[in-house]
A and B are shown apart, each in its own frame.
Chain A
Amino acid sequence: MPEEQNMAKITLQNIKHSYLRQPVESQDYALKEVDAVWSNGGAYALLGPSGCGKTTLLNIISGLLTPSEGRVFFDDNDVTDIPTIERRIAQIFQFPVVYDTMTVFDNLAFPLRNRGVAEDKVKLRVNEVAVMLDLEDSLKRRASGLTADGKQKISLGRGLVREDVNVIMFDEPLTVIDPHLKWLLRSKLKELHQQLGITMIYVTHDQTEALTFADRVLVMYDGTVVQVGTPVDLFERPGHTFVGHFIGSPGMNILPCEIRDGAASFAGNVLQTASPLPTADNERVEVGVRPEFVRFDDSGFAVEIVKIDDLGRYKIVVVRCNDSTLKMIVDEDIRIPSESPRISFDPEYTRLYTDGWVVE
Chain B
Amino acid sequence: MGIELKQVSKRVGAEIHIHPTDLVLDAGGFNVLLGTTLAGKTTLMRLMAGLEAPSGGEVWFDGKNVTGIPVQKRSVAMVYQAFINYPSFTVFDNIASPLRVARVARGEIRTRVGKIAELLRLTPMLDRLPAELSGGQQQRTALARALVKNAPLVLLDEPLANLDYKLREELRDELPKLFQDTGATVVYATSEPLEALMLGGHTATVHEGRITQYGATAQVYRTPNTLLTARVFSDPPINTATVDKQGDTFVFGDAAHWPVTEKYAVLPNGIYTLGIRPHHVTVTGEHADGVVVRGIVQIAEISGSESIVRVEVAGNSWVSRSHGVHPFEVGDTVELHMQVQRCLYFDSGGELVAS
Contact = CB atoms under 8 A, between A and B. Distances in A.
A178 B32 CA distance: 20
A205 B210 CA distance: 35
Interface string A235-257: 11000000001111111000000
Contacts of A77: none
A179 B192 contact: yes
Contacts of B237: 180
A76 interface: no
Interface in B265-312: 277, 279, 299-305, 308, 310
Contacts of A313: 277, 279
A245 B164 CA distance: 14
B325 interface: yes
A183 B305 contact: no
Contact of A312 (B166, B222, B236, B303): B222
A312 B299 contact: no
Contact of B197 (A179, A236, A312): A312
Contacts of B325: 231-232
A50 B305 CA distance: 24
A313 B134 CA distance: 33
Interface in B306-331: 308, 310, 325, 330
A212 B325 CA distance: 11
B221 A231 contact: no
B304 A232 contact: yes
Contacts of B134: 50-51
Interface residues of B, number: 33
A235 B165 CA distance: 17
Interface string A140-181: 000000000000000000000000000000000000001110
Given A49-B164, A183-B301, A247-B304, A312 B235 contact: no
B197 A231 contact: no
Contact of A310 (B192, B218, B235, B277): B218
Nearest to B222: A312
A311 B305 contact: no
A187 B165 CA distance: 21
B135 interface: yes
Given A245-B166, A249-B165, 4 more contacts: A187-B310, A231-B304, A312-B221, A312-B222
Interface of B: 36-37, 134-135, 164-166, 169, 191-192, 194, 197-198, 200, 218, 221-222, 235-237, 277, 279, 299-305, 308, 310, 325, 330
In the A-B complex, list the 8 residue pairs whose CB atoms are closest, starting with the nearest: A235-B304, A231-B304, A211-B303, A187-B299, A212-B301, A310-B218, A311-B197, A312-B221
Interface of A: 49-51, 178-180, 183-184, 186-187, 190-191, 205-208, 211-212, 231-236, 245-251, 292, 309-313
